[in-house]
Amino acid sequence: MEAEEARAFLQQRLALLGRVYGFIGLSFYLAAMLVLLRLPAGSWQQFERGAWVILAANSVYLIQWLLCRRGRHSERVLRLIDGSSMTLVAFLMSLKIFDSYPGEVPGLSYARTLLLVTYGLVLRAVFVPSSAKRTLILGLIAGSFPVATSYIWYSTQKASVPAAQQAIWTSLWSLSSVVISTLASRVIFGLRQQVREAWRLGQYTLLEKIGEGGMGAVYRARHAMLRRPTAVKLLPPGKGGAEQLTRFEREVQLTSRLSHPNTVVVFDYGRTPGGVFYYAMEYLEGVDLEKLVRRNGPLPPGRVLHILRQVAGSLSEAHGVGLIHRDIKPANIILVAERGGAADVAKVVDFGLVRNLDEAADMTKDDIVRGTPHYLSPEAINAPEKVDARSDLYALGAVGYLLLTGRLVFEGRTVMEVCSHHLHDRPVPPAERLGQPLPQMLCRLTLDCLEKDPDRRPESAADFLARLARCDDVAPWTENEARNWWKEHGASVMTGESRTPSGAMTSVGALSVIRGADGRGR
């Protein structure tokens, strides 16, 4: 994997060098043509010869760009392209020494040749990832051409300086150019290696950022020996205070206790010498439910039941060991095409706000409401110290409502307006909100989860699962339907642009409301 990344980066940089050098050179060529138009006709011949040399050199790099901009070439082929282009261009540039223009100061073509070769060497060292040794070898080869052509040119001139002596001066200049480009390669190549080392956490190498939240950033990563896809969540030093670090560490410890197939799996965790705390979990290549609904609108009731059953199973295990999630929402439920032979698998992620009911003191302050407003239970707003497993079921009911209707349970322009709806207003029945019939038993269960009084909701995730099993008016979401859906829509929902159905979600952001002495939010 690392070798493939290096190969792809080399191809990308060679394409960039070819494009930059080629188009800059082409601009100079066009400028030279404009100059030719203002000269007497007899002067064209000498200018044309030099212009054709420049055009040939630019063509080499434009061909390099065309070869490397698409497709996949092996590293050996890319190195061959790199070496051939550099050598051929240096040879062509060294021929410029034979172009003395009318009225030009003697020896100016010699200086121009050296500058062009130096320019090519340094530009390559800046753009192309290369070891110092390789740059040195290519530089010595390229630098030998102006030495040879200068000796030949001065041998034919009536100059006061002998050709051999001039070749020595040319050698010193070329050697200086080679040294500069070699040092540039060494510094740039070395810095890139240091950056790669800096992105390694233990046995994991970070590849690219795939998400970021209040509790840290998430990166796709690769294990040094294992081939399983991995995501690494980390909290860099200085990101938060001691309380946030404690919560972050507590998140991984609590999540690692869970083993349900619909809960994200934690592989490992640790802290680097630099103070970066991280943990590694399974990489989920899928789409979260929020993005899915934004793009595709309401889901078939059978699929909604299929997803809710999986999420409830994950919560049932967590509740069984005394843990509540406290931030169940569509963005924290990832849908993947397949896991363990099963199709359309839901995974519950981000236990960053999880609370251990067995602990006497909660790590989150009781005077701060934490969560996402559209999925907060009434008690989470006005009495967060009384939050229990039934608050997760309220949030799960709000998720089910969104999946069935494509609309939020309550909408509002501000956080407090949404919270007020949760505290005082009854939800519009899903079928009425959607404007078309829906399975009554599934809608009834969804509304039961959204009761203001926790005692009127399903008493547990296990009870919720039992009631889901009794929803016999819902057409089942079959495995064939699931596989066909992912085959047809999978690529587009994960990479395409989201579209928002009419009247769909209007997010007002995450919530952190400090409660006053009177128990009201402010």
Please identify every residue annotated as catalytic.
Answer: 327
Q: Name the residue among 90, 138, 130 with its Cα closest to residue 114.
A: 90
Q: Contact at 8 Å (CB) between 439 and 474? A: yes
Strand pairing of 333-339 and 286-288?
A: antiparallel
What phi-psi label fits residue 231: left (phi over 0), alpha (psi between -120 and 50 degrees) or beta?
beta
Residues 204 and 202: their CA atoms lie apart, in Å, by 5
C-alpha 53/C-alpha 38 separation (Å) is 21
What is the side-by-side order of every strand in the sheet holding 333-339? 286-288, 333-339, 342-348
End-to-end CA distance of the chain: 51
The C-alpha atoms of residue 388 and residue 408 are separated, in whole angstroms, by 23
Alpha carbon dihedral 192, 195, 200, 205, in 10-degree steps, equals -50
- Residues contacting residue 346 through CB under 8 Å, at least 6 positions apart: 262, 289, 307, 310, 311, 314, 333, 334, 335
The two structure tokens encoding residue 359: 């602990």
Give the span between the Cα atoms of 206 and 224, in whole angstroms.
11
Q: Rounded distance, CA 89 to CA 269, Å?
A: 51
C-beta neighbour count of 317 within 10 angstroms: 19
CB 300 within 8 A of CB 272: no
Contact 86, 36 (CB under 8 A): no
Q: What single letter denotes the amino acid at residue 249?
A: E
| Nearest-angstrom CA–CA distance, 405 and 433 | 7
List of residues 6+ apart from 436 with CB closer than 8 A: none
Q: Which two tokens stand for residue 494?
A: 């994960």
Which DSSP letter does residue 521 get? B
Q: Tell me the C-alpha distance between 324 and 449, whole Å.
A: 16
Contact at 8 Å (CB) between 419 and 373?
yes
Q: Helix, strand, or coil here: 475?
A: coil
CA distance 178 to 175: 5
From CA 173, how far away is CA 26, in angstroms rounded?
26
